[in-house]
Amino acid sequence: QKGYFADHGTTLSGLMKKHGTDPAEFLSFVHDIALDRIVHDAPLVDRIARLPGRKLVFTNGDAAYAGRVLARLGLGGAFDGVHDIHAMNYVPKPDPRSYAALCDRWDVAPRRALFVDDMARNLKPAKDLGMTTVWLNNGSEQAGGESCPTFIDHEIADLGDWLAALTKETA
């Protein structure tokens, strides 16, 4: 799994290329999990709601799974759209083509966009397009960065805290 992830961007991409795995079946299987550990986050909901402009989810998962996670967080109606692995024709982040598909489909002007991701390597193509990048460093092995490369504009540990600071709230 880690080899496919490292070499192909996602485990799914590796399985598709090496074994002809059906993407819909795979996604249905891996996303059939309990989400009990994800809890409603009222402050985050409020902070995201206060952000100006359109808000999109860009995920290597599928929209159905993203919707389940967003609903658990209380963010079900907070985003204007989900750009998922199906919309990317199974070409995942960090492949630059998936970012081009996002910008084309949603009419995103990269120089006016803020891109937040918990995988440092996913920020490089966004930065190359001119987006402002934010790395949500959750400390995971797959986050992929021990230092702050030049393609990362901001490194944060908690999205809610960062958004509170942006809006000059007291947390």
CATH number at residue 72: 3.40.50.1000
Span 81-97, average pLDDT: 93
**Residue 35 — pLDDT band, cuts 50, 70, 90?**
confident
Distance separating alpha carbons of residues 123 and 116, to the nearest angstrom: 8
**58 located within any domain:** yes
- Indicate whether 10 belongs to any domain: no
Confidence of residue 171 (pLDDT cuts 50, 70, 90): very low
Say if 95 falls within a structural domain. Answer: yes
Range of the domain at 59: 38-166
Whether the per-residue pLDDT at 163 is higher than 60: the answer is yes
Q: How far is CA 138 from CA 40, 54, 117, 125, 135, in A?
A: 19, 25, 10, 20, 9
Tell me how far apart the alpha carbons of residues 92 and 94 are, in angstroms, rounded to a whole number: 6
44: left (phi over 0), alpha (psi -120 to 50) or beta: alpha
Total tally of structural domains belonging to the chain = 1
Burial class from Cβ neighbours inside 10 Å (0-12, 13-18, 19+) for residue 63 reads middle
- Give the other-Cβ count within 10 Å of 2's Cβ: 10
- Looking at the domain assignment, is residue 11 inside a domain? no
Is 158 part of a structural domain of the chain? yes
Q: pLDDT, tens digit, for every residue of 4-32? A: 656 656 666 666 677 677 666 666 656 56
Considering the entire predicted model, what is its pTM?
0.80
